[in-house]
Amino acid sequence: MEVIRAARQRSEAGHDVLHLEVGQPSTGAPAAAVAAARAALDQPELLGYTDALGTPQLRARISRHYADRHGLDVDPELIAVTQGASLACVLSFLATFDVGDRVAVCEPGYPCYRQMLAALGCEVVGVPIGPTSRFQPTPTLLEEAGPLDGVVVASPSNPTGSQLTAAELDSITTWCDKSDVRLIADEIYHGISAVGPAPTALAHPSARPIVINSFSKYFSMTGWRLGWAVLPPELVRPFELLAQNLVISAPTLSQIAALSAFDATEELDGHVDRYHLNREILLAGLDDLGCTTIAPADGAFYLYADVSHLTDDSQVLCATWLDKLGIATTPGVDFDPARGHRSIRFSYAGSADTMRSAMERLRWWAAR
């Protein structure tokens, strides 16, 4: 957020900014979703509160999505529609954990897991991951973390883009079942993959995982604030009660629009093709910069690069690039408090022209 604020201040001062820091698509919602929202605005009777777990129509459509994408029969009654995946995380943590429970998160990993859990009084257990485990946790690493009550896993991951294979995800899910540890699987980047479809934790025969997804990334609907959770049966009612008391329901207009988003796969897959092109542009440019140690860029729209040959303080380097080159990037300390000073996350969710311009400026900077 500090990088975004500094980039905005630079823009307001009349200077250009190439945005490689923002973890959101540069495109808007699918045309069909926007059209559905416009039509709903003329029918105010449709726009009151919905059930706390979402409209029956959207829950059923999400269920069909799992059948279409993964060949799975997911009961719509186990699906909760939320105000973004962020709220799905908070409600899942509240429904599942007590104060003092030990919950493992990956480092590097999405920082908000850590902050949410800490705010709720949980003990956050950082699990260092790196090249030897393809920047994903393993049962061995989780075992080494000591007694746990929960594990948060993201695949594809922010910030690394690494994606678990079906076998790797199965081994983690099996370990959690045997160890009586609740698995929360963040799958919000499903649909954006360079190595084939990402497997879902719901494919495991266990009924215990909580699976979280979102309309923000693949569906390109960040500001519409809509996500969902697939819950084990025993958590549906606690989750519903928490939602009723804390937020009432997810935005009704967004839920109506989301129904049509599922039918926009041609448009949305076109965005994914652009991400693949951007990925190649960045990989080539960073190689020219000497950044050869990069986390597996399997999915999402991020590259997480080791920049220790350029700096021992990624925050300073990011600030320099923004000030001198107009390139906004995110320092790794956001994602890994212990080792992130050697890394930077590059988002390639923008246009190909933005990626090319950024790499040209970085090549010039490196050749000075």
Task: Kindly state the average pLDDT of the residues 6-26.
Answer: 90
Predicted local confidence at residue 169, as pLDDT: 97
Range of the domain at 106: 49-261
Share of the chain above pLDDT 90, in %: 93
The CATH number covering residue 281 comes to 3.90.1150.10
Q: What is the model's pTM?
A: 0.95
Question: What's the pLDDT tens digit per position in 250-286?
Answer: 999 999 999 999 999 999 999 999 999 999 999 999 9
Answer whether residue 350 is part of any domain.
yes
Position 175 scores a pLDDT of 97
Mean pLDDT of 278-307: 95
Domain boundary among 219, 238, 261: 261
Q: How far apart are CA 330 and CA 11, in angstroms?
A: 17
CB crowding 5-14: b at 16 or more within 10 Å, else e: ebbeebeeee
| pLDDT tens, residue by residue, 211-240 | 999 999 999 999 999 999 999 999 999 999
- 139: cis peptide before it, omega within 30°? no
Any domain includes 37: no
Residues 63-83: tens digit of each pLDDT: 999 999 999 999 999 999 999
One DSSP character per residue, 60-120 reads HHHHHHHHHHH-----GGGEEEESHHHHHHHHHHHHH--TT-EEEEEESS-HHHHHHHHHT
Q: Check pLDDT > 80 for residue 207.
A: no
pLDDT-derived band of residue 4, with 50, 70 and 90 as boundaries?
confident
Average pLDDT over residues 331-340: 95
The structure tokens listed for 10 are 């630079």
Same domain, 231 and 297: no
Same domain, yes or no: 74 and 219 = yes
- What is the C-alpha to C-alpha distance for residues 359 and 368, in angstroms, rounded to an integer? 14
Q: Are residues 15 and 158 in the same domain?
A: no
Q: How confident is the model at residue 8 (pLDDT cuts 50, 70, 90)?
A: confident
Could you please report the per-residue DSSP string of 166-231?
HHHHHHHHHHHHHHT-EEEEE-TTTT-BSSSPPP-GGGSS-S--EEEEESSSTT--GGG--EEEE-
Tell me the average pLDDT across 165-178: 97
Give the pLDDT of residue 311.
95
pLDDT of residue 299: 97
The pLDDT tens digits for 236-248 are 999 999 999 999 9
Q: Which DSSP symbol is given to 302?
A: E
d(CA 31, CA 348): 22
Single out the residue of 37, 80, 110 nearest to residue 246, CA to CA: 80
Query: Domain check: are 150 and 242 in the same one?
Result: yes
Residues 217 and 160 in one domain: yes
Q: What's the mean per-residue pLDDT of the chain?
A: 96
User: For 106-162, how does the pLDDT look when each residue is reduced to its tens digit (9 = 90+)?
Assistant: 999 999 999 999 999 999 999 999 999 999 999 999 999 999 999 999 999 999 999
Return all residues near 132 (Cβ < 8 A) that are at least 6 apart: none
Same-domain check for residues 222 and 297: no
Identify the pLDDT of residue 11.
86
11 lies in the same domain as 90: no
pLDDT in the model for residue 5: 86
Query: pLDDT exceeding 70 applies to what percent of the chain?
Result: 100
Q: How many domains does the chain have?
A: 2
Can you give the CATH number for the domain in which 110 is found?
3.40.640.10
Question: Which is nearest to 29 in space by CA: 189, 284, 218?
Answer: 218
pLDDT value for 189:
98
